[in-house]
Structure 1
Amino acid sequence: MSVAPAGRPPASAESAAALGLAPLLTTPRARPGWLVLPARVGAMCLVELQKLRHDRTELYTRAVQPALWLLIFGETFTRIRAIPTGGVPYLDFLAPGIIAQSAMFIAIFYGIMIIWERDSGVLTKLLVTPTPRAALVTGKAFAAGVKSLMQAAVVLVLATLLGVSLTWNPLRLLGVAAAVLLASAFFSCLSMSIAGIVLTRDRLMGVGQAITMPLFFGSNALYPVDVMPDWLRAVSAVNPLSYQVDALRGLLLDTPSHLLLDFLVLLAAAAAGITAASCLLGRLAR
Structure 2
Amino acid sequence: MSAPPAARPAVSAENAPNPVRQLASRVGTMCLVELQKLRHDRTELVTRAIQPALWLLVFGETFTRIRAIPTGSTPYLDYLAPGILAQSALFVAIFFGIQIIWERDAGVLAKLLVTPTPRAALVTGKAFAAGVRALAQAVIVLVLAALLGVALTANPLKLLGVAAALVLGSAFFCCLSITIAGLVLSRERLMGIGQAITMPLFFASNALYPVDIMPTWLRVLNHVNPLSYEVDAVRGLLIGTPSRLALDFGVLVLAAVVAIAVASALLGRLTR
The one-character-per-residue Cα deviations of 1:185-239 (angstroms, maximum 9, x if unpaired) are 0000000000000000000011001100000000000000000000000000000
Give TM-score, length-normalised by structure 1. 0.88
The one-character-per-residue Cα deviations of 1:50-84 (angstroms, maximum 9, x if unpaired) are 22222122111001011100000000000000000
Aligned to 2:244: 258
Q: Is the 8 A contact 2:95 2:177 kept in 1?
A: yes
Letter in 2 for 1:138: T
Matches within 5 A, 1:143-182: 143-182=129-168
The one-character-per-residue Cα deviations of 1:1-48 (angstroms, maximum 9, x if unpaired) are xxxxxxxxxxxxxxxxxxxxxxxxxxxx96851422211221222223
1:101 and 2:87 matched: yes
Matches within 5 A, 1:46-125: 46-125=32-111
Aligned to 2:223: 237
Cα distance in 2 between the residues matched to 1:44 and 1:160? 31
Letter in 2 for 1:208: G
Aligned to 1:222: 208
Cα distance in 2 between the residues matched to 1:177 and 1:89? 23
Cα distance in 1 between the residues matched to 2:236 and 2:22? 36
Moved over 4 A (4+): 29-32
Letter in 2 for 1:41: V
* Secondary structure in structure 2 of the residue aligned to 1:102: helix
**Kindly, what percent of the aligned residue pairs are identical?**
75
1:211 and 2:197 matched: yes
Q: Is the 8 A contact 2:34 2:132 kept in 1?
A: no
Aligned to 1:11: none
Aligned to 2:120: 134
The one-character-per-residue Cα deviations of 1:72-128 (angstroms, maximum 9, x if unpaired) are 000000000000001110000000000000000000000000000000100001101
Letter in 2 for 1:273: A
Aligned to 1:24: none
Q: Is the 8 A contact 2:27 2:129 kept in 1?
A: no
Cα distance in 2 between the residues matched to 1:79 and 1:144? 35
Letter in 2 for 1:228: M
Structure 2, unmatched stretches of 5+, are 1-13
1:201 equivalent among 187, 200, 208: 187
Cα distance in 2 between the residues matched to 1:93 and 1:201? 35
Letter in 2 for 1:142: F
Cα distance in 2 between the residues matched to 1:46 and 1:127? 20
Cα distance in 1 between the residues matched to 2:57 and 2:34? 32
Q: Which has the larger radius of gyration?
A: 1
Residue 168 to residue 31, structure 1, CA distance change in 2 (3 Å): farther
Cα distance in 2 between the residues matched to 1:151 and 1:50? 15
Cα distance in 2 between the residues matched to 1:48 and 1:150? 11
Cα distance in 2 between the residues matched to 1:64 and 1:92? 19
The one-character-per-residue Cα deviations of 1:148-178 (angstroms, maximum 9, x if unpaired) are 0111111111000000001010000010000
Letter in 1 for 2:176: L
Letter in 2 for 1:87: S
Letter in 2 for 1:65: Q
Letter in 2 for 1:46: L
RMSD between aligned alpha carbons? 1.2
Cα distance in 2 between the residues matched to 1:30 and 1:285? 33
